[in-house]
Amino acid sequence: MAIPVITTDMPGCRDAVDDGVTGIVCEPRSVDALERAMRQVLDLGAEARAAMGAAGRAKMEREFREALVHRAYLDALGELGVSGS
């Protein structure tokens, strides 16, 4: 969607966001941290938000495209001795 992401510092979430580049990573289960992250994104201004969103889109296309995710999934199944075909 090419918009900045706000996520929590938890496995799986933090891996998808480069803090301060593609979005903001904040402390989990903290309303205050979420509020700070939301304000930080709003304070960026339209151009900086657009740049952050574009960087996030590029990261997703580069690191999480469908073929890579499928390959990682099949590899993980193979390590468990399960056939993925």
| pLDDT, tens digit (0-9, with 9 covering 90-100), for 19-49 | 999 999 999 999 999 999 999 999 999 999 9
**71 within a domain of the structure (yes/no):** yes
What mean pLDDT, rounded, does the chain reach?
94
Domain of 27 in residue numbering reads as 5-79
This prediction's pTM: 0.79
Do residues 52 and 1 lie in contact, with contact meaning Cβ atoms separated by under 8 Å?
A: no
Residue 79 has pLDDT above 80, yes or no: yes
**84 within a domain of the structure (yes/no):** no
Mean pLDDT confidence for 71-81: 93
Mean pLDDT confidence for 69-77: 92
Provide the token pair at 68.
């890579």
Who contacts 73 (Cβ-Cβ below 8 Å, separation ≥6)?
Answer: 84
How many domains does the structure of the chain reveal? 1
**85 within a domain of the structure (yes/no):** no
- Confidence band of 84 (pLDDT split at 50, 70, 90): low
**52 within a domain of the structure (yes/no):** yes
**74 within a domain of the structure (yes/no):** yes
